[in-house]
C-alpha cells in the first residue's frame, strides 16, 4: 500500500466514525429537547414523528463530496503541480547543461530541435537523440560570472 492510499484510508475511516457519531447524536438530542421543552399535558402523541431524522441520501452525498475533496487534494493537485514543474524544467533547458534521461543516461546537451534533444554521453563523443519528455533531471552549467 503506497503512502497516498494509506493516508486516504486513514482519513476516510476517521471521518466516517466522526460523522457516524454526529449523525447518531442529532436525533437523540432532538428527542431529548422535545421532551424537556414541552409540558407533559401538551406533548404530541408518540407516533406523530416529532423527532428530526437526517435523510440517508444526504449522508451519502456528504460522504461522496468529502471523498472527492480528499481525492483532489491528495492526488490530482500534487500531480498537476509536479507536471507543471517538469514542464518548466524542460523549457529551461540550454546548450551545455548536464541532463539525465528517464533511462539513466547522462550527458551534455549539444543540440535542441523542437522536441528532440541530442546529448553527448562520453569522452569518445557518443551522441544520443532523445525526446524532450525523456529528460528527468537537469544540472545547469555553472559560469564564473558570479562575484
Rounded to whole angstroms, how far apart are CA atoms 139 and 147?
Answer: 21
Residue 119 has pLDDT above 80, yes or no: yes
Rounded to whole angstroms, how far apart are CA atoms 91 and 133?
Answer: 10
Q: Where are the alpha helices (DSSP H) in the chain?
A: 3-37, 56-71, 77-91
Count up the domains in the chain and report the number.
2
Q: Which of 72, 90, 108 is a domain's end point?
A: 90
pLDDT tens-digit series, residues 6-34: 665 566 666 556 555 555 555 555 555 55
Same domain, 107 and 41: no
Same domain, 122 and 69: no
The DSSP code for 142 is P
Residue 142 has pLDDT above 90, yes or no: no
Question: 3-class DSSP state for residue 52?
Answer: coil
Instruction: Give the pLDDT score at 122.
Output: 85
Rg of the chain (C-alpha set): 31
CATH code: domain of residue 102: 2.30.30
Q: Could you tell me the pLDDT band of residue 38, with boundaries at 50, 70 and 90? A: low
Sign of CA dihedral 104, 88, 133, 94: negative
Instruction: Give the pLDDT score at 49.
Output: 55
Instruction: Give the pLDDT score at 41.
Output: 47
Question: 3-class DSSP state for residue 146?
Answer: coil
Q: Which of 74, 90, 106 is a domain's end point?
A: 90
Instruction: Give the pLDDT score at 53.
Output: 79
Question: Is residue 14 domain-resident?
Answer: yes
Residue with cell string 555553472: 142
Instruction: Give the pLDDT score at 90.
Output: 87
Q: Could you tell me the pLDDT band of residue 54, with boundaries at 50, 70 and 90? A: confident
Same domain, 20 and 82: yes
Torsion of Cα atoms, 58 then 60 then 61 then 64, to 10°: 160
Q: Which one is predicted more confidently, 16 or 130?
A: 130
Per-chain mean pLDDT for the chain: 77
CB 31 within 8 A of CB 51: yes
Per the structure, the complete domain to which residue 121 belongs is given by 98-139
DSSP string, 80-99: HHHHHHHHHHHHT--TT-EE
Question: Is residue 145 domain-resident?
Answer: no
Same domain, 105 and 39: no
Cell numbers that stand for 30 in this block: 432532538
Question: Is residue 104 domain-resident?
Answer: yes
Entry pTM:
0.49
Residue with cell string 436525533: 27
Q: Could you tell me the pLDDT band of residue 45, with boundaries at 50, 70 and 90? A: low
Amino acid at each position: 500500500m503506497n503512502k497516498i492510499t494509506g493516508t486516504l484510508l486513514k482519513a476516510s475511516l476517521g471521518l466516517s466514525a466522526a460523522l457516524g457519531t454526529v449523525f447518531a447524536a442529532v436525533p437523540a438530542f432532538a428527542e431529548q429537547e422535545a421532551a424537556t421543552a414541552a409540558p407533559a399535558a401538551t406533548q404530541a402523541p408518540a407516533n406523530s414523528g416529532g423527532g428530526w431524522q437526517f435523510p440517508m441520501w444526504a449522508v451519502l452525498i456528504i460522504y461522496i463530496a468529502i471523498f472527492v475533496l480528499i481525492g483532489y487534494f491528495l492526488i490530482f493537485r500534487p500531480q498537476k503541480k509536479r507536471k507543471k514543474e517538469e514542464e518548466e524544467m524542460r523549457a529551461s533547458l540550454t546548450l551545455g547543461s548536464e541532463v539525465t534521461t528517464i533511462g539513466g543516461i547522462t550527458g551534455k546537451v549539444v543540440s535542441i530541435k523542437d522536441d528532440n534533444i541530442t546529448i553527448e554521453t562520453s569522452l569518445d563523443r557518443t551522441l544520443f537523440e532523445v525526446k524532450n519528455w525523456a529528460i528527468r533531471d537537469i544540472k545547469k552549467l555553472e559560469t564564473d560570472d558570479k562575484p
